[in-house]
Amino acid sequence: MDAATQAATPAVSFDTSPERYRHWKLAFDGPIATLSMDVQEDAGLSPDYKLKLNSYDLGVDIELADAIQRLRFEHPEVHAVVVTSLKERIFCAGANIFMLRGSSHAWKVNFCKFTNETRLAIEDASAHSGIRFLAALNGICAGGGYELALACDEIFLVDDGNSAVSLPETPLLGVLPGTGGLTRVVDKRKVRRDLADVFGTVAEGVKGKRAVEWRLVDAVYPTSQFKDRVAARAKELAAKSDRPSGGPGITLTPLAPAVTDTSVTYSAVSIEIDRDKRVATLTVAAPEPGQPDTVDAAQALGARFWPLRAFRELDEALLRLRTHEPLIGTVVVKTRGDQEAMLAMDEWLLANQDHWLVREIIHFMKRTLKRMDLTSRSFFALIEPESCFAGTLFELALASDRSYMLDDPDRDNTIALSAMNGGPLKMSNGLTRMQTRFLAEPEQVDALLDRGQPFDPQEAMAAGLVSFAPDDIDWDDEVRLAIESRVALSPDALTGMEANLRFAGPETMETKIFGRLTAWQNWIFIRPNAVGAKGALTAYGSHSRPEFDFNRV
Amino acid sequence: MDAATQAATPAVSFDTSPERYRHWKLAFDGPIATLSMDVQEDAGLSPDYKLKLNSYDLGVDIELADAIQRLRFEHPEVHAVVVTSLKERIFCAGANIFMLRGSSHAWKVNFCKFTNETRLAIEDASAHSGIRFLAALNGICAGGGYELALACDEIFLVDDGNSAVSLPETPLLGVLPGTGGLTRVVDKRKVRRDLADVFGTVAEGVKGKRAVEWRLVDAVYPTSQFKDRVAARAKELAAKSDRPSGGPGITLTPLAPAVTDTSVTYSAVSIEIDRDKRVATLTVAAPEPGQPDTVDAAQALGARFWPLRAFRELDEALLRLRTHEPLIGTVVVKTRGDQEAMLAMDEWLLANQDHWLVREIIHFMKRTLKRMDLTSRSFFALIEPESCFAGTLFELALASDRSYMLDDPDRDNTIALSAMNGGPLKMSNGLTRMQTRFLAEPEQVDALLDRGQPFDPQEAMAAGLVSFAPDDIDWDDEVRLAIESRVALSPDALTGMEANLRFAGPETMETKIFGRLTAWQNWIFIRPNAVGAKGALTAYGSHSRPEFDFNRV
C-alpha cells in the first residue's frame, strides 16, 4: 500500500464562506466583482509548507470554488468578475511545489482534478450564466496561476518589464501544467503549436508585446494605465450580460451533515460506509410532494429548495468520498421517494428555466453530475421498489457504470424519464447521458423520452435503460457477487477502464483535459524523473540538480 | 536509469516479407485474401517466453503490418481480406503476457504504439483503399486478439459453445486492453457503456447470441456453417471495392540501408546519431529532377519510385529511432534537394491520385507522417540554403515541434507550399497540419496555399510558417542553445507535453486511442498494482495471487 496516501491527507473541509476566507477577497462594485488572491503563507492545509508568492494548495482552491459558486447564487447583480491579486508585483506562482512534493500520488491527482473542475466552473459561469471573467495579471503569473488566467474569458497583463506569464512545470519540475494549461493554450487560445512548445519549455515565460503576438494574453498595458484599462474592459464585459440588474440572491447556508466514522447524513443525501467490504452506499431522496409553485416561493426557500439542497449535498458527498475515503472503490447508488414529485419538480424546473436562479440551479445539477462522471470510483445503481430513479434522479443510474433493477412480479418497481434527461444535464462530452448511452441507436433517445410513462423492469431492459433485471430469487446473490467481484479488481485498472468507457462519442476541451492531459500528468507524477530521489520535483528548491534517466518512452 | 530498458530490448528488424513469415500465412483466391495467424511458439523475439495459443510479440505484429502493406501495394486485385487462425479452436490469445512481464516500461509502450498503428493501418486500408476486412473468429479470441478483430470492418464468431470474445486484461492482469480495445468497443462498435463495463471485467468474455446482442460481434454461426458464411460475406464485401480487378502490383523490395554504430543510410534518407549529445539528424532528400511522366513509368520503377522509396525509408528510420535509440531524445530534421522537382512531384501525384497505386503511395506518405507525429521525440526542423522544405517535404517542418529558418541576406533560402499541404496528408485529428497550425486563423490556410510562390525567411516568419528566423550571425548559437536546452529537460515531461501540444483541434477515435487510452495504459503499466512484486501482471501464471493497494487514484 502507498504509505504516503493516508499520512499525507490533511483534514480538509469543502465547506467555507467568504467571512472565513483566508486567501481571497471578494469586493463588489455594482455589476463588477473583484476576486483578489492574497494567499496567507502560514494558512496552508499542512504546516509542512509555506504558501509563498500566492502559491496555492487545495484549501486555497476550495475558497476559489466557493467564491465562484456564491457569485452565481448570492450575487445575481454581478455581471463580470475581475480576477487579480493583492500582492505587489505577483499575481500567482501556481500550485505550491513543496505541497506537491510532500503529497501522495493520489492526493496530487485529486488536487489536480478538483482544481480542474473549479477552472471549468469559471468557464461554465461564462458560457451559461452571463458572468464574464477578466484575469488582471498585475504581476508574475506562473504555472497554475496562468492556468487560472486561461480559464478566464480575457487576460490582461501588466507591462512593467518584469511581469510575465509562464508554464515552468516542464523545465523546472519535470511535470506537466496539470490544470488544463497545455490544452487551453492550443485549443482555447489557439496558440500555434511551435510557439506553445517554446512557451512550455522556457521557465521565465513570455512578457510584453510577444505575449500578445503569441496569443498568450489579450493585451498588455503599462502599470500607469493597467487599473483603468481593466476597469473599462470589465464594464464592457458586464454590459453584455443577461443577468438581472439587481438582487436579491439566495444564501448558500452551511450543509452541516451529521458525520460518524461510517456515515455522512445530510437532509436528502446520505453515505453509509462499509470499510470491510470497501463499499459505500450513496442514497438520494427525491423531493417531497407539494413543492413551491412559484419562483418567488422557491427563492424564499433559498438553499432549502430541494434541487439546490439535494445537489449541494450530493456534490459534497462526492468530494468527501474522493478525498477522505480512497479505499472505498465501489459506490452503490440508491434513491428513494416519490416519482410523481420528482417528475413534477423536473417539469417545474424546465418551465422556469429562464429565471436566473432556476438556470443556476439546473447548471449546478449538471456540474454535480459531471463531478460524478469524473469520480474514479465504480458506481452501481440499484433500482428497487420504493426507489425513485425518475427524471433528474435517473441521471444517477445513467451516470453509473451499471444498473441493476429488481424484477419481482409481486412488487411495483419502475423507472421514468423526463425532459431533464433530454438536454439540460449534458456530460463533459457535450452529449446527454441518454445520447451517450444510445450512440448506436440515436433514434431511441427521442422515442424513449417521448414515451410519457414509467418503465417496468422488463420494459426497462428491452429499452436498454438498465443493465440487468434479476428476479427476486436471484437478486441478492447477483448483486452481491457483482459487488464482490468489482472490489477485488485492480483499482488502477478500473480507474483507467472507467475513464475510457464513460466518455464515448465526441471529445471536447473538457474531456481532453480530463482524458489526455490528466492521464499523461498522472503518468509523469509517478515517474522517477519527477518524483524519484533525484527527480526534478524532488530536487526543486534544494541545492542538487535533478538527474534524469534520459530514455524516451 | 531504467536498467531493464536496454537489457530487455531484443534485436528486431522491421524488414520482412511473406516468404520469411513465421507466424502468418497469406493465401489468395481472386479478390479475396486470407490472412491466417499461426504463431510459432518458439519463434518469439526472445527465448524467454513461448508464444502459446497464437499469442503475439512485436515480431508477430511486424509480420502483420508487413502483410497489410503488401496487400495494398503488391495485390491490387485483393478487395477483401479474411483474418483468421490456422490453430484449432483458437483465434488469438492476445499479446503474450510473459513477454509483457519481462519487458521494460519503454518496450511495453513502444510495442503498444506499433500494434496500435498496425490496427489503424487496417482501418485506413478499409476507409481509403477499398479493402474490407472480415475477422473470422474460429476459436477463442482474447485481449489483443479481440482488439485485432475490432480493427476489422466486421466480426464473425463461431458458435461452438466455447469460443468467446473477451478483454481479460483488467480482471486477470490489472492492466487495460492497450491496443484500442476500450475505445473501439464504445466508439466504433458503440457498445453501451454499462455492457462494455461488464464485458471489460469478466475474464471469460461473452459468446454466442449475447455477443451479437451486445454488438461485440456482427454474427455468430455454428461450426458447420462458419466457413461458408465467412466466404459468402467476404465475397459481398469484395464486390463493393473500387480497386482494379487485376494486377500487377509492385514489389516492396528490401530497404537494405547501410548501418554503422552512428548512422543509418538509405537512398533518400539518412540518420546520423550523436550519442554524447543525445541528438540524431534525420535528413530526407527530395526527388531528382526528371521523374517519370506517366503512371506506367512510375509503376515500372516500383519501389524505386521516389515518393514510395523515400517514405518507406523514412518510416523505417522512425521505427529504428523509436526502438533502437531510446536515449536519442531530440531529432534535427533536415532536407536537401531541388524544390522545383519536389513541387513537380506533388503536382504529378495529385494529377494521378485516382490511380490505385498513386492513391496507395499518398496514403502511405500520410501514415508515415502520422508515425512522426506519434513518435515521442522532439523534432526541430532546420531550414537552410540547399534544403528542400517544399510541398510534401514541408510537412516535415509542420510535423516538427519547432522550425528554425536561416535568414542570411547573402544566401537564398526559401520554403514553398503545394496542394499536398492542403488535404491529402491529414493528421490523426482529421485536419491537415496547416489547419492544425492555423486553428486561430483558419482563413490563413487557403491564403497561404494559394500564394503560388516560395517564402523567404521574412515572409515565412510573417506568415507564421516557421518558428524562428535567426540571421547568419545568431544562427549557430541560437540553434545550438535550443538543442542543448531541449536535451537537458525531463524526457517524460517532454513526451507528455508533446502529446498534448501536437494534436490541437478535434479529437477522433484515433487520437482518443493515442491520447486518452494510451496515456492511461502507460500510467497503469508502471503502477505497483500491475508490475510490482505482487502486482497482477507479475503474479499471472504463478501460484500466487496478486495483492493490491486498494487506494483509488
The answer to whether the CB atoms of A187 and B505 lie below 8 A apart is: yes
> For residues B240 and B254, what is the distance between their CA atoms, to the nearest angstrom?
32
Phi-psi region of B518 (alpha: psi -120 to 50; beta: other; left: phi over 0): alpha
What's the rounded Cα separation, in Å, for the pair B330 and B327?
9
pLDDT at B201: 97
Does residue B118 register a pLDDT over 50?
Answer: yes
Q: What is the pLDDT of residue A178?
A: 86
pLDDT above 90 coverage of chain B, percent:
96
Determine, for residues A486 and B194 on separate chains, whether the beta-carbon distance falls below 8 Å: no
Task: Say yes or no to pLDDT of B505 above 50.
Answer: yes
Measure A388 CA to nearest chain B CA, in Å. Answer: 20
Chain B environment of A175 (Cβ under 8 Å): 490, 493
What is the nearest CA distance from A319 to chain B, expressed in angstroms? Answer: 13
Give the DSSP H/E element, type plus range, for residue A94.
strand A94-95
Interface confidence (ipTM) of the complex: 0.94
Closest of B430, B385, B428 to residue B407, by C-alpha: B385
| Residues 417-436 in A contacting B (C-alpha not used; CB under 8 Å) | 436
Backbone angles phi, psi at B207, to 5 degrees: -135, 175
- pLDDT tens digit sequence for B369-393: 999 999 999 999 999 999 999 999 9
Q: How far apart are the first and last CA of chain A?
A: 26
Short-list B532, A3, B99, A5, CA closest to B546? B532
Residue A63 has which C-alpha cell? 475558497
Chain B residues inside the 8 Å CB shell of A168: none
Instruction: Give the nearest partner residue to A492 out of B200, B439, B524, using CB atoms.
Output: B524
Q: Hey, of A2, A191, A194, which one would you mutate to test binding to chain B, going by the most B CBs within 10 A of its CB?
A: A194
Alpha-carbon B518 to chain mean position:
13
Q: Which of residues 31-90 of A touch B (CB under 8 A)?
A: none
What is the model's pLDDT at position B223? Answer: 97
B504 chain-A contacts, CB cut-off 8 A: 186-187, 190, 193
The answer to whether B438 and B413 are in contact (CB under 8 A) is: no
Say yes or no for a CB contact (<8 Å) between B500 and A198. Answer: no
Q: Chain B contact for A275, CB < 8 A?
A: no
Cis before residue A31, ω within 30 degrees of 0?
no
B358: amino acid identity, one letter:
V
Task: Count interface pairs A-B at CB distance under 8 A.
Answer: 302
Task: Report d(CA B547, CA B544) in Å as an integer.
Answer: 9
* Per-residue pLDDT reduced to its tens digit, B120-142: 999 999 999 999 999 999 999 99
Angle (CA) B197 B193 A316, round 5°: 85
Residues 6+ apart with CB under 8 A from B59: B12, B22, B23, B43, B44, B45
* Predicted local distance difference test score (pLDDT) of residue A403: 98
pLDDT at B503: 94
Q: What is the CA radius of gyration of chain B?
A: 24
- Name the residue among B175, B377, B522 with its Cβ closest to that of A552: B377
Tell me which residues of chain B, numbers 321 to 340, contact chain A at a CB-CB cutoff of 8 Å.
Answer: 326-329
In the predicted model, is pLDDT for residue B463 greater than 60?
Answer: yes
User: A497 and B175: CB-CB below 8 Å?
Assistant: no
pTM, to two decimals: 0.96
Name the nearest CA neighbour of B151 among B174, B179, B130, B190: B179
Judge: B530–A495 Cβ closer than 8 Å, yes or no. no
For residue A502, the chain B residues in CB contact (below 8 A) are: 193
Contacts of A196 in chain B (CB under 8 A): 501
| Cell triple for A392 | 433528474
Q: Do B376 and A552 touch (CB under 8 A)?
A: yes
The answer to whether the Cα torsion of B476, B478, B480, B481 is positive or negative is positive
Confidence (pLDDT) at A231: 98
CA distance A374 to chain B (A): 12
B183, B507, B530 member nearest A500 (Cβ): B183
| SS3 assignment, position B285 | strand
**Which residues does A493 contact at the CB level (< 8 Å), separation at least 6?**
B169, B170, B173, B174, B175, B176, B524, B529, B530, B536
Tens-place pLDDT, residues B266-304: 999 999 999 999 999 999 999 999 889 999 999 999 999
B176 and A CB contact within 8 Å: yes
Q: What is the pLDDT of residues B7-46, one digit of tens each?
A: 445 578 999 999 999 999 999 999 999 999 999 999 999 9
pLDDT at A10 (0 to 100): 60
pLDDT (0 to 100) of residue A2: 42
Of B327, B439, B500, which is closest to A516 when you measure between CB atoms?
Answer: B500
Q: Cβ of A507 and B512 within 8 Å?
A: yes
Assess contact for B512 and B183: CB atoms under 8 A: yes
3-class secondary-structure state, position B22: coil
pLDDT for B10 equals 59
* Window from A89-93, A107-111, B360-364, B541-545 with minimum mean pLDDT: B541-545
Provide, as residue numbers in chain A, all residues whose Cβ is less than 8 Å from the Cβ of B463: none
Taking the C-alpha atoms of residue A164 and residue A211, their distance in angstroms, rounded to an integer, is 8
Task: Give the H or E element holding residue B274.
Answer: strand B269-274
| Mean pLDDT value of segment B352-371 | 97
- State the average pLDDT over residues B420-448: 97
Residue of chain B whose alpha carbon sits nearest to that of A549: B1
Does B444 lie at the interface with A, CB-CB under 8 angstroms?
A: no
Residue A50 exposure: Cα atoms within 13 Å on the Cβ side? 4
Mean pLDDT of all residues in B493-520? 93
B516 contact A CB<8A: yes
CB atoms within 10 A of CB A378: 26
Q: How far is CA A125 from CA A65, A67, A77, A234, A409, in A?
A: 12, 12, 14, 15, 47
Q: Does B521 touch chain A (CB under 8 A)?
A: yes
**Is the Cβ–Cβ distance between B238 and B175 less than 8 Å?**
no
Interface of A with B in 96-115 (CB under 8 A): 105-106, 109-110
Please compute the mean of the pLDDT values over residues B362-375 and round it to a whole number. 98
Which of A479, A500, A549 should we substitute to test contact with B (largest number of B Cβ atoms within 10 Å)?
A: A500
Amino acid at A156: F
Query: Is the predicted pLDDT of residue B6 greater than 80, yes or no?
Result: no
- For residue B112, the chain A residue with the least C-alpha distance is A553
Confidence (pLDDT) at A543: 83
Task: Extract the C-alpha cell encoding A509.
Answer: 476541451
Residues of chain A falling short of pLDDT 70: 1-10
A400 to B494: CB separation less than 8 angstroms, yes or no = no
Per-residue model confidence (pLDDT) at position B274: 98
**HSE toward the beta carbon, residue A342, CA cutoff 13 A:** 28
- In chain A, which residues have their Cβ closer than 8 Å to the Cβ of B517? 500
Q: Does B552 touch chain A (CB under 8 A)?
A: yes
Is the per-residue pLDDT at B213 higher than 90? yes
**Which of chain A's residues have a Cβ under 8 Å away from the Cβ of B274?**
none
- The partner residue sitting opposite A197, judged by closest CB among B182, B402, B511, is B402
